[in-house]
Amino acid sequence: MKLRLALFCALLVAPAVFAQTPTQVRVNGTRIHSHLAALSQFGRNPQGGVSRVAYTPADVQGREYAIQLMKDAGLDVHLDAAGNIVGSRPGSDPSLKPLLIGSHIDSVPEGGNYDGDVGSLSSIEVAQTLKERNITLRHPLQVIIWQNEEGVTIGSQAVGSGADEKLLSMISPSGKTVREGTRLIGGNPDQIASARRQQGSIAGYFELHIEQGGTLERDKIDIGVVEGIVGILHSDVTIEGFANHAGTTPMDQRHDALLSAARFIDRVNQIVTGVPGRQVGTVGWIKVQPGAYNVIPGKVTLGLELRDLDEKKFLSLFDQVRVAATEIGQRNQTRFSFTEPVVNHPALTDKGFQKLVDDTAKSLGFSTKLMPSGAGHDAQELAPIGPIGMIFIPSIGGISHAPKEFSRPQDIENGANVLLQTVLAFDKTMP
């Protein structure tokens, strides 16, 4: 009788885990690995990574593959109006808000096989494990594959702060506008406002991701507990000069747009490194017109990116870059103009979530480190609507956004187990 009473009380205290003791439940690492290998076939590039840029056929095929895995994991799958793939698993307490986990499966051009894919497939694996172990959480669980993270964080922005006309008409790396792309993948751009969720409408969001830098590997740490995610500023810069004959125009009579661009790129580097801190700045693409040996470049467009955890800091750097551009332009009679910057705001993770991830990882025997994220993530877009947490695993050689991106199978399995146990611990203890 006493034993029955104790059992009954234990069920009341831990209703989420009546089928298993949570710490005994583990993901199937071999299965994650085989799903990663299968996903890497969609958009495979000759260097062994993927070019699965959002809104391309490879992206569409990858999404179909992920949808099938989500259905196999017992999730009820639908697309929201933004084209995010949402897989739901009901909870036992209808008064609780949903707990979200997920990541993205689109890549940069000539990207790797781990950025986004690890978190997406591990989140599906969490659902699959819950299904196989007959575990019903108290919270509804939603596994979400966000659309077009690399273009940047389009689907999660639509959910976290809403997509406006400016976002919908942005040209994505595929060459399609976000509006066209969203329609192509099955979303409804005309109704995209309905994808937005209200502040306080989610219990929280956890994302597992590769570090994309070399800190964890260098320090031999298993799990990174993310304290915050950098903000990102993008602006397209146009430099107008005058295209003229490269043989007959004397050196002192040129309006060489590419020469201004070269000086500008160097100045960006000087400005960004001229103050202490972890801020970074990059010119990541450039187009030269008309582009011939024997024509002085008349027009250049290039992409400027600035990042930091402190938004004020990168906005002030942007101001300095614009002042420098005007000076450079005057020196050889070219004219700089900047598009209105597109800003992804920095976000801090929730302190309680940091502790939950840290305690969970340690209870599984892993070493941990609190660290910032220099890469952008969908998680930062969800911060306006609820608490967020992120789990990092090591990236070998700190290489990412490149075909040589690699994370060891054991590290991926460790990260997925931390995600699973974090979900179970959250469900047990949080409202």
153 vs 421 by CB, closer to ligand GLV: 153
Does 223 participate in binding ligand GLV (rule CB under 6 A)? no
In the complex, least distance from residue 150 CB atom to ligand GLV, rounded to whole angstroms: 6
Per CB under 5 A, 125 contacts Mn ion: no
Work out how close the CB of 404 gets to Mn ion at its nearest, in angstroms, rounded to a whole number: 14
Residue 376 binding target from Mn ion, ligand GLV, none, CB below 5 to 8 Å by type: ligand GLV
DSSP string, 55-109: TSHHHHHHHHHHHHHHHHTT-EEEE-TT--EEEEE--S-TTSPPEEEEEE----T
Q: Report the residue number, 125 or 150, with the smaller CB distance to ligand GLV.
A: 150
* Residue with smaller CB distance to Mn ion, 142 or 380: 380
Considering the complex, what minimum distance in angstroms separates the CB of residue 53 from ligand GLV?
12
Site string for ligand GLV, 351-390 (x = CB under 6 A): ------------------------xx--------------
DSSP structure class, residue 240? E
Number of residues that bind Mn ion (CB under 5 A): 2
Please tell me whether residue 294 adopts helix, strand or coil conformation: coil
325 binds, among ligand GLV, Mn ion, none (CB under 5 to 8 A by kind): none
Where does 152-272 show beta strands of DSSP type E? 204-210, 223-229, 231-240
| Cα–Cα distance measured from residue 410 to residue 32, given in angstroms and rounded to the nearest whole number | 11
**Closest Cα partner for 145 from 51, 222, 91, 71?**
71
In the range 42-101, which residues lie near ligand GLV by CB under 6 A?
none
Using alpha carbons, select from 43, 40, 372 the residue that is nearest to residue 231. 372
State yes or no: residue 49 binds Mn ion (CB under 5 A). Answer: no
160 is an interface residue for ligand GLV by CB under 6 A: no
Q: Which of the ranges 75-83, 108-116, 164-172, 197-205 carries the binding residues for Mn ion, by CB under 5 A?
A: 108-116
Work out the end-to-end distance of the chain between its first and last CA atoms, rounded to an integer number of angstroms. Answer: 31
- The site that binds ligand GLV (CB under 6 A) totals a number of residues, namely 4
User: Min. distance of Cβ 82 from ligand GLV in angstroms?
Assistant: 18
Name the residue among 323, 164, 320, 304 with its Cα closest to residue 233: 304
Sign of the Cα pseudo-torsion (34, 36, 37, 42, in order): positive
* Tokens standing for residue 49: 């990574």
φ, ψ for residue 141, nearest 5 deg: -115, 135
The least distance separating Mn ion from the CB of residue 207, rounded to whole angstroms, comes to: 9
Q: Which is nearer to ligand GLV, 58 or 425 (CB)?
A: 58
Residue 117 contacts ligand GLV per CB under 6 A:
no
H or E stretch at 302: strand 299-308
What is the SS3 assignment for 112? coil
| Cα gap 91→79, rounded to integer Å | 20
Interaction of residue 207 with ligand GLV, rule CB under 6 A: no
**Closest approach of ligand GLV to the CB of residue 306, in Å:** 12
Residue from 115, 125, 256, 358 binding Mn ion (CB under 5 A): 115
230 vs 412 by CB, closer to ligand GLV: 230
Strand 141-146 vs strand 99-104: parallel, antiparallel, or unpaired? Answer: parallel
Q: How many residues does the chain have?
A: 431
**Is residue 173 part of the contact set for Mn ion (CB under 5 A)?**
no
Near ligand GLV by CB under 6 A: residue from 150, 211, 413, 427: 150
42, 72, 37: which is closest to 54 by C-alpha?
Answer: 42
Environment class of 428 (CB within 10 Å of its CB; exposed 0-12, middle 13-18, buried 19+): middle
Binder among 22, 102, 116, 384 for Mn ion (CB under 5 A) = 116
Residue 121 touching ligand GLV (CB under 6 A) = no
Q: Which of 428, 260, 234 is nearest to 314 (CA)?
A: 234
Q: Among the residues of 306-408, which ranges form H helices?
A: 311-331, 351-363, 378-382
Closest separation in Å from C-beta 145 to ligand GLV: 15
- Closest CB to Mn ion among residues 111, 281: 111
For position 119 contacting Mn ion by CB under 5 A, the verdict is: no
User: Which residues bind to Mn ion, rule: CB under 5 A?
Assistant: 115-116
User: Which residues bind to ligand GLV, rule: CB under 6 A?
Assistant: 150, 152, 375-376
